[in-house]
């Protein structure tokens, strides 16, 4: 068999986007077993991000120049194409590169229309059948499609527990993109209650809420990327998470918080709920009143925070063990498994 390169495609629009971070983490994971090349599919890709990670913009002209060969960045019929939250529809460059050996779509959204766009190929394209990788059982069940389930890759050697005692005033925090879709308006009342109860509430990626918090709320709002995610999470005592209109098909930030040994209090709607065992390695709520009661327990009981946080860390260590990562990597480096359903 000819030398295989795995080409990973993503829009690479933002250094802080979950899809971008997933693509980069997947590429790092796959490089342990073979050659990987990163491509930006969007004209609006982040130039600093591309420079930092050696990502090239894929265009018709670029693809034509790299059509065949054995040097870096070239394409051959032995290659595997992996699209992470990006797609090839209405693009011209796919028609000039050699047909890939395998075509894998990492489905990290919750838009059923993308299934039609990625499962049906233009007649002239003649690419292989799309193999789907879902990032949670929650997502796969809702979409009702065959495919494998691989948790979004996370570097748990980067996200590690803080080596310190608990803060004098417990710190509740959350982390997300700075978008209203990532926030539930009902949470503003909870945040105010928790500050009045003596806690600090730190919200990174929440400046979009600045005109809604009201006078005297005493919430610490910072933009996305203000502090490195791992450092920010290690400054917290409890991680809280609920989104608005956005549905988290996985919720990597929740797992990053768990990796930092934080007790997480999360709304039940999301892919992360598959891995949270209520009152054992985290807490799941359906209503604001349930969230209020869970947080009251955690604020009053440092020992409970420590126990739940330690269990959370063990959960992600199992999820991202070396054997588990090697098995997932082999899926990409191995033979076609289009009808795999486990």
Is residue 69 predicted with pLDDT exceeding 80? no
Supply the DSSP symbol for 196.
Answer: H
Average confidence score pLDDT of the chain? 90
Alpha-helix residue ranges (DSSP H) falling in the chain? 18-30, 47-53, 60-65, 112-119, 137-143, 187-196, 229-234, 252-259, 288-300, 302-319, 322-333
CB 250 within 8 A of CB 135: yes
Model confidence at 334: pLDDT above 90: no
Distance in angstroms (rounded) separating the CA atoms of residues 341 and 338? 9
Classify residue 87 as exposed, middle or buried by CB count within 10 Å of its CB (0-12, 13-18, 19+): middle
Average pLDDT for 19-44: 93
Task: Give percent helix, percent strand, percent coil of the chain, each to the nearest 5.
Answer: 35, 15, 45
73 has pLDDT over 70: no
Domains in the chain and their CATH numbers? 5-153+321-333 (3.40.50.11090), 171-319 (3.40.50.2000)
pLDDT tens profile 95-152: 999 999 999 999 987 777 888 888 888 888 889 999 999 999 999 998 888 999 999 9
DSSP 321: -
Task: Please give the pLDDT value at position 215.
Answer: 57
Structure confidence by residue, pLDDT tens digits, 250-303: 999 999 999 999 999 999 999 999 999 999 999 999 999 999 999 999 999 999
Q: Of 140, 154, 146, nearest to 110 (Cα)? A: 140
User: Structure pTM?
Assistant: 0.85
Instruction: Please list, residue by residue across 96-133, b when 16 or more beta carbons sit within 10 angstroms of its beta carbon and e when fewer do.
Output: ebeebbbbbbbbbeeeeebbeebeebeeeeebbebbbb
The band of 174, judged by pLDDT with boundaries at 50, 70 and 90, is very high
* Region of poorest pLDDT, from 46-55, 117-126, 222-231: 117-126
pLDDT at 76: 87
Mean pLDDT of 17-46: 92
**Average pLDDT of the residues in 319-324:** 93
Q: What is the pLDDT of residue 342?
A: 39
Tell me: pLDDT of 232 over 70.
yes
Residues 253 and 239: their CA atoms lie apart, in Å, by 10
């Amino acid at each position: 068999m000819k030398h295989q390169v795995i080409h990973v495609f993503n829009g690479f629009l933002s250094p802080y986007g979950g899809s971008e971070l997933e693509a980069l983490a997947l590429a790092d994971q796959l490089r342990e077993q073979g050659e990987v090349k990163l491509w930006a599919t969007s004209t609006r890709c982040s130039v600093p991000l591309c420079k930092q990670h050696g990502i090239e913009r894929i265009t018709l002209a670029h693809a034509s120049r790299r059509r065949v060969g054995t040097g870096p960045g070239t394409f051959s019929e032995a290659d595997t194409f992996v699209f992470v939250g990006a797609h090839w529809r209405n693009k011209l460059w796919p028609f000039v590169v050699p047909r890939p050996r395998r075509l894998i779509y990492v489905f990290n959204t919750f838009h059923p229309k993308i299934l039609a766009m990625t499962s049906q190929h233009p007649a002239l394209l003649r690419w292989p059948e799309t193999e789907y990788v879902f990032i949670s059982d929650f997502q796969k069940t809702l979409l009702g499609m065959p495919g494998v389930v691989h948790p979004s890759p996370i570097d748990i050697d980067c996200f590690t527990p803080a080596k310190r005692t608990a803060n004098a005033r417990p710190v509740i925090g959350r982390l997300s993109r700075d978008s209203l879709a990532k926030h539930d308006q009902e949470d503003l009342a909870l945040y105010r209650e928790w500050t009045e109860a003596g806690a600090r509430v730190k919200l990174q990626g929440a400046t979009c809420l600045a005109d809604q918090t009201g006078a005297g709320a005493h919430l610490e709002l910072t933009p996305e990327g203000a502090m490195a995610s791992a450092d920010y999470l290690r400054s917290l005592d409890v991680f809280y998470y609920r989104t608005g209109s956005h549905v988290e098909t996985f919720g990597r930030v929740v797992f990053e918080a768990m990796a930092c040994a934080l007790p997480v209090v999360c709304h039940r709607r999301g892919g992360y709920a598959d891995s949270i065992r209520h009152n054992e390695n985290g807490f799941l709520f359906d209503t604001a009143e349930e969230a209020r009661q869970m947080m009251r327990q955690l604020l009053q009981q440092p020992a409970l925070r420590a126990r739940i946080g330690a269990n959370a860390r063990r959960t992600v260590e199992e999820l991202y063990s070396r054997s588990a990562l090697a098995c997932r990597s082999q899926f990409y480096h191995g033979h076609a498994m289009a009808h795999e359903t486990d």
